[in-house]
Amino acid sequence: MAGKDRILVLGPTGAIGRHIVWASVKAGNPTYVLVRDTPPTVNKPRLVTAANPETREELLQNFQNSGVFLIQGDMNDHQSLVNAIKQVDVVICSFGRLLIEDQVKIIAAIKEAGNIKRFFPSEFGLDVDRQDAVEPVREVFEEKAKIRRIIEAEGVPYTYLCCHAFTGYFLRNLAQIDTTVPPRDKIFIQGDGNVKGAYVTEADVGTYTVEAVNDPNTLNKAVHIRLPANYLSLNEIVSLWEKKIGKSIEKIYVPEEEVLKNIQELSFPNNYLLALYHSQQIRGDAVYEIDPTKDVEASQAYPHVKYTTVDEYLNQFL
């Protein structure tokens, strides 16, 4: 029996990359990460820090202690990227929004290396081919869609991972701007609160991503993570939270026109986060039908995975 595919993670210390690395190690896939000598300085929302408190240095040391292969290289150094890619079977990119377009460099390196079975571009959000987002999110979604088209045109084998709303961004604060814990007295709900959203922990995104790596049925398809217990409206989540804390919360519903005005007036990262909330919670960009010819629903494909439910996730804040 052949061994499991070797996985290279690009962006391994980011909010999602770190969880893909750990899931790969746990699954027994030989795991490689590309490490720059000098990490870039990026303005990260406080939510990211709250959800991922480990520093880059701590992570890399923990990776190394767990048998992860650290490869020195840089996305902007074509030859070092090609050399890294030649050592593996699958490339997973988890770059942040500022580096989406730079994935053309990865595609070029994959083409030159000629050995990659699958490329997972930096998606890990709403399905960019099924969205009606506003700026500043729309531009990022369009960049991701552009990368999809380049991958397909170049004939690079791929899997797109659509996981919708990270709990670390959307759930730990019940979609409240500029806070890191669920409110206990008053909550602002964007829209009417009845639109279904899909929530998943970053660790579970890592698990499902590696499941998809090891599943030949996901080749040249999109994998959608919409877990039954976590496919909920914000009203349903607030009701669940109220039961946990044993009290009712004052609910202030914000009409879409006001949400759009707030997005225009706020600065980063709050305008970006609010636009993401608007996309999922008002426009309903997580509500769509699966096309089995090009889509895979993760909960159906991998029923053995024990994921963290919204109910379980909220218990940490009691």
How far apart, in whole angstroms, are the C-alpha atoms of residue 29 and residue 20?
Answer: 11
Task: Sketch the domain layout of the chain as residue ranges.
Answer: 7-317
How does pLDDT run across 227-261, given as a tens digit for each residue? Answer: 999 999 999 999 999 999 999 999 999 999 999 99
Q: Residue 1 has what pLDDT?
A: 39
Does residue 144 have an active-site annotation? yes
How far apart, in whole angstroms, are the C-alpha atoms of residue 200 and residue 225?
Answer: 8
DSSP string of 162-178, one letter each residue:
E--EEIIIIITTTT-TT
Q: Please state at what angle helix 137-154 crosses helix 103-113, rounded to 10 degrees.
A: 10
Where are the strands (E) in 234-283, listed by range? 250-254
Fold of 7-317: Rossmann fold (3.40.50)
Q: Residue 43 has what pLDDT?
A: 57
β-sheet bridge partners, residue 91? 8, 119
Q: Are 198 and 162 in contact (CB under 8 A)?
A: no
Below-50 pLDDT ranges, the chain? 1
Please identify which of the residues 86, 144, 221, 251 carries the catalytic annotation: 144
Amino acid 3 reads G
Query: Cα dist. 193→126, 133, 244 in Å?
Result: 18, 17, 19
Q: Residue 56 has what pLDDT?
A: 86
Q: Are 316 and 167 in contact (CB under 8 A)?
A: no
Q: Using the 8-state DSSP alphabet, how is residue 78 labeled?
A: H
How far apart, in whole angstroms, are the C-alpha atoms of residue 134 and residue 138?
Answer: 5
